[in-house]
């Protein structure tokens, strides 16, 4: 189904007064509309013109896949058209992409976004979909390597995502150590957030890392059921570092061409610093949250 939301960033300007709108107040009325959702290239309707009276915010609109003839690895462009039945029948338009993916030819994990309720659905080869709400923080590889029991302690605290920050040169991982961590993560039921913050602008490095994951998945070694999300341009203050605003979207397209079965994340720190350009290169936009009032006196590393 499609979920209609109002955005301050994407789409056409909305000239109706929504300042008093409260999502929990169902009495708020925006007017009378016709909603149509169709495939951009062919014009085939996914949702034929449907009358809507009242609030548009956060509503569900089911559709059938019958109009999409075949599964494909490439995204399908979809147009959302909203005609306001007053003021000259003004039409608002927005575009999005729909993936109708085939079943993978080889065993691998799959993750999909739950844009209705939040979180992710994940599955390994042959398993059922499992709902996951990611809960974790940046992990220092040196800390993990210093004690074989640290990963279990991390899991025992209730965290479910293993996100290891790579070093600052090349791929940034000791690949043998990474294999050991991924083996242990699988045993503990942790999901992996794979971080390419230093290399996402270099297609050769990206391809090497994706191939490493593919080799691990597809040979006679245990697959990576723990691989839930690829991390695209995630680096602390990536926008503040003034990476090219077009870089995340270019990397997004390249990574998706190699593996469309996992969403891509991006972390931004600055307030509206080319936010639209940067955020176009991610399925998930994260916040880099820091604790307030932390006493680091007892931290040998951060005091």
Q: How far apart are CA 39 and CA 46, in angstroms?
A: 7
- For position 156, what pLDDT does the model report? 96
Using the CB atoms, write b or e for 252-263: b if 16+ within 10 Å: bebbbebbbbbb
pLDDT in tens, 212-260: 776 554 333 444 445 555 544 444 445 556 788 899 899 999 988 888 8
What is the spatial distance between Cα 295 and Cα 56, in angstroms, rounded to a whole number? 46
Residue 93 has φ and ψ, to the nearest 5°, of: -130, 145
pLDDT of residue 132: 86
Residues 6 or more apart in contact with residue 174 via CB below 8 angstroms: 141
* Per-residue confidence (pLDDT) for residue 219, from 0 to 100: 38
Residue given tokens 């016709």 in the structure block? 34
Token pair for 274: 């080319």
Q: Minimal CA–CA distance to 109: which of 191, 224, 210? A: 224
Q: β-strands 130-132, 191-195: how paired? A: unpaired
N-terminal to C-terminal alpha carbon distance within the chain: 49
Distance of alpha carbon 280 from alpha carbon 278, whole angstroms: 5
- Rounded to the nearest 10°, the torsion over CA 196, 197, 201, 207 is -10
Q: What pLDDT is stored for residue 40 in this prediction?
A: 93
User: Rounded to an integer, what is the distance from CA 50 to the centroid of its chain?
Assistant: 30
Residues of the chain whose pLDDT is less than 70? 6, 8-11, 14-31, 54-58, 67, 87-88, 125, 214-241, 296, 298-303
Q: What was the pLDDT predicted at 222? A: 42
Distance CA(299)–CA(303), nearest Å, equals 5
């Amino acid at each position: 189904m499609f979920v209609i939301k109002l955005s301050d960033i994407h789409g056409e300007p909305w000239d109706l007064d929504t300042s008093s709108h409260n999502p929990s107040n169902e009495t708020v009325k925006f007017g009378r509309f016709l909603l149509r959702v169709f495939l951009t290239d062919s014009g085939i309707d996914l949702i034929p013109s449907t009358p809507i009276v009242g609030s548009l915010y956060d509503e569900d609109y089911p559709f059938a896949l019958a109009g999409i003839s075949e599964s494909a690895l490439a995204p399908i462009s979809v147009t959302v058209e909203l005609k306001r039945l007053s003021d000259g029948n003004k039409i608002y338009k927005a575009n999005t992409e729909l993936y109708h993916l085939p079943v993978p030819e080889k065993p691998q994990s799959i993750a999909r976004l739950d844009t209705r309720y939040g979180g992710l659905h994940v599955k390994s080869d042959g398993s059922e979909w499992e709902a996951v709400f990611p809960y974790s923080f940046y992990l220092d590889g040196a800390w993990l390597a210093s004690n074989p029991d640290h990963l279990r302690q991390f899991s025992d605290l209730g965290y479910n995502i293993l996100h290891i920050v790579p070093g600052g040169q090349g791929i940034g991982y000791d690949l043998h150590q990474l294999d050991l961590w991924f083996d242990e993560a699988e045993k503990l039921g942790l999901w992996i957030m794979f971080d390419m913050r230093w290399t996402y602008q270099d297609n050769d490095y990206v391809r090497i890392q994706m191939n490493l994951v593919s080799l691990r998945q597809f040979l006679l070694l245990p697959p990576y059921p723990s691989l839930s999300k690829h991390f695209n341009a995630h680096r602390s203050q990536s926008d503040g570092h003034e990476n090219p605003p077009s870089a995340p979207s270019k990397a997004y397209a390249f990574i998706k061409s190699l593996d469309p079965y996992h969403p891509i994340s991006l972390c931004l720190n600055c307030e509206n610093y080319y936010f639209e350009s940067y955020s176009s290169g991610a399925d998930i936009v994260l916040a880099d949250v820091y604790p307030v009032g932390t006493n680091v006196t007892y931290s040998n590393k951060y005091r």
